[in-house]
Amino acid sequence: MMTLPILVLSDAPNLPTGLGRIARDITSLLWRWQENLDIEVAQLGLGFDGSEWPWPVWKVENESEWAYMDLPGALVNWFHGRPGVILTVWDPARCMYAPHWAKKFERVETWGYFAVDAEGRSGGFGGPAAATVQEYSRVLAYGPYGARVLGKVLGRGGVQWLPHGLDLSFWKAQEGASRKLIGCVAANQVRKDFGVLFEAWARVRDARPGKYAFWLHTDLEVRIWSVPELAAEFGFGDDLLVTCAGRGGIGDEELRGLYSQCIATVAPGLGEGFGYPIVESLACGAPVVHVDYAGGAELVPERWRVGAAAWRLEGTYLLRRPVLDAAEVAGRLLEAVEWAEREPKVVGAYCRGAVAHLGWKELDRRWFSWVKQGVEQMQKGGSG
């Protein structure tokens, strides 16, 4: 039986982005299972820096068109005329070239693990992104929310979903840490509402003067939002700690230590496909306040979710995004803080329990079964 090549297309494994981490973890699983499943795995990665990995990695050069000109060469070099799989770990709008090139090669399938962080007015989405999803051989969602939206796009129910996991042996509270921070870990982008975040923080600070400091971990201090301007506008000074990710920034050990010093955090995304900062915070025993929308809401206990005050439509796909009331965010945050002050051990255990099902030990066999099913179908000559 011929070995099946799999090419993972996503952010490069060296990137600290959520998609980079997800793709790295999934590729690592595939690499570990190569002998058992008779597969060979490689990556085509956006932002690859040339670093060494156990599996082959090629750099996406054609970044503006999401690897349009890179895919055919990678398929020739890795597949060598054999049947194979392009496994994309991106949102659908970035993946339109994968089915296009798959059709140019004999028995090459596209499998999609799709990030879905919002929906349109009808409950799905349209345009080229929808057309792309409809061309895929196999579609996998992150969770029930994504499965529902993708099912709407495909015109059918029963879309499979699998969460990705976290190393819960690493992401846990550090002993002896004093919880004197209220935190947030979020990229500086349109979808993360830093304006509401800072206003909510200011309300909590004014309600509890001098009690807590505030910590923001982001990629760039000035991009979509200006963190210095927000700090000045809402009166933050020495009580605000800002750290950065990426080259020269803090690593996972420091990040874990700072989570462990948080009595609570805010996840200010206006819709998440998954939300690493949500599960990292909970795993480290800190409650998370987040909007009651999209995939992130599936990870956050209901008591810490904030409903939308209103809705707006965003972008070319007219995706629904919530408008949040900073006063409500602050109120929910104060409730979490007050409970954590009263019963720190109970709250810590409650948080950890909320993400206990997301450890890779719990998810490993489920992922193995999904991949095995597709591989066996391919080896028999049919679609998974």
Q: Can you tell me the mean pLDDT for 102-128?
A: 96
- Quickly state the pLDDT bin for 384 (edges 50, 70, 90): very low
- Quickly state the pLDDT bin for 379 (edges 50, 70, 90): confident
How far is it, in rounded angstroms, from Cα 21 to Cα 331? 33
- Quickly state the pLDDT bin for 124 (edges 50, 70, 90): very high
Check if 4-165+360-380 and 181-358 are the same fold: yes
CATH number of 4-165+360-380: 3.40.50.11930
Percent of the chain with pLDDT over 90: 94
**Does the pLDDT of residue 383 top 60, yes or no?**
no
pLDDT given at position 382: 57
The ranges assigned to domains in the chain are 4-165+360-380, 181-358
Burial of 32 (0-12, 13-18, 19+ CB in 10 A): middle
Structure tokens at 156: 């059918």
Q: What is the mean pLDDT of the chain?
A: 96
Percent of the chain with pLDDT over 70: 99
**Does the pLDDT of residue 160 top 60, yes or no?**
yes
Q: Can you tell me the mean pLDDT for 179-184?
A: 97
- Give the contacts of 61 (CB within 8 A, at least 6 positions apart): 69, 70
Burial of 171 (0-12, 13-18, 19+ CB in 10 A): buried
pLDDT given at position 168: 96
CA quadruple 115, 68, 8, 63: dihedral, nearest 10? -70
Count the neighbouring beta carbons within 10 Å of the beta carbon of residue 1.
6
For 82, 83, 117, 310, 352, the CA distances from 343, given in Å and listed in that order, are 59, 57, 33, 34, 14
Architecture of domain 181-358: 3-Layer(aba) Sandwich (3.40)
**Does the pLDDT of residue 246 top 80, yes or no?**
no
pLDDT given at position 1: 65
pLDDT given at position 176: 87
Query: pTM for this structure?
Result: 0.94
The beta-strand segments (E) located in the chain are 4-11, 39-46, 57-59, 84-88, 108-114, 138-141, 160-161, 181-185, 213-218, 240-244, 262-267, 288-291, 305-306, 310-314, 319-323
pLDDT given at position 157: 86
